[in-house]
Chains A and B, each alone.
Chain A
Amino acid sequence: MGRSGIVDGPIDEEIEIRAIAQGKTEVGAIVTFKGVIREKSPHGRVEKLYYDFYPEMASTALEEIRRRAIEKFGLVDATLLHRVGEVPVGETALLVIAASEHREAAFEAARWMVDEVKRTAAIWKKEIFVGGGGRWVELED
């Protein structure tokens, strides 16, 4: 079963992939996207990101994106999880899984869900640099 939500610890994508595919014999394609924290930034060497979020609005937006993706692309199911708090370099902050009968819908839906998260979810990230200091990321960055 797919799901959406805010999580405050590491995301285990293998568990989520198994959950979304379990018992669904009509699924022919599963596309996953992981947003991973990278060290390189134009503004310094990143140690981790800190994600702030508005609980009520962020949770609602994630579920709405998931629901709309299933409807818009005819998915069998979808999962959309966003981690908050401190996320170290190399770890996953965003997990998108799109399960469909055919690959085109899954690819398109995964990309669309990522874009919608950035556009509509009340979540904000701050780069925390190695050696101290930090910087809130603006959308156009």
Chain B
Amino acid sequence: MVRVRLYGWIAEELGWRERSLDFEGTLGDLIAALNADLMELVFKGRVMVAVNHSLERDLGRAVSGDDIIALLPTFSGG
């Protein structure tokens, strides 16, 4: 099962924080399946994607069973 985590305003907008999904496909397919609007925000740079705790820009990357996918707003700490 692929684990998907959401942070910041993305978690608020979508109304959940973490889910396990039975999914096979690319990172882009996964994001589009979660919410079509998110892809647009990824392209605009307002949403970043991490795979297994590292930022990932290749949306064509295959997502497999134990991967942890996170959707991240642009950072605003400090």
Interface residues of A (CB under 8 A from B): 35, 51-54, 56-58, 60, 82, 93-94, 114, 117-126, 136-139, 141
Is A119 within 8 A of B8, CB to CB? Answer: no
Is B75 within 8 A of A52, CB to CB? Answer: no
Is B78 within 8 A of A35, CB to CB? Answer: yes
Is A124 within 8 A of B76, CB to CB? Answer: yes
User: Which of B20-28, B31-39, B66-74 faces chain A?
Assistant: B66-74
Is A118 within 8 A of B75, CB to CB? Answer: yes
Is B76 within 8 A of A118, CB to CB? Answer: yes
- Other-chain residue from A60, A114, A138 in contact with B76 (beta carbon distance below 8 A): A138
Interface digits, B48-78 against A, CB 8 Å rule (1 contact, 0 not)? Answer: 0010011000000000000000101111111
Interface size, B (range): 10 to 19
Q: How far is the CA of A53 from the CA of B5 in the complex (A)?
A: 11
Also in contact, A136 and B77, with CB within 8 A (given A54-B50, A60-B53): no
- Chain A to chain B: the 4 pairs with minimum beta-carbon distance, closest first: A123-B77, A124-B8, A136-B9, A56-B53
Also in contact, A52 and B7, with CB within 8 A (given A123-B77, A139-B76): yes
Q: How far is the CA of A53 from the CA of B75 in the complex (A)?
A: 9
Is B78 within 8 A of A122, CB to CB? Answer: no
Nearest-CB residue, chain B, relative to A121: B77
Nearest-CB residue, chain B, relative to A137: B76
Is A119 within 8 A of B53, CB to CB? Answer: no
Also in contact, A122 and B76, with CB within 8 A (given A54-B5, A56-B53, A60-B53): no
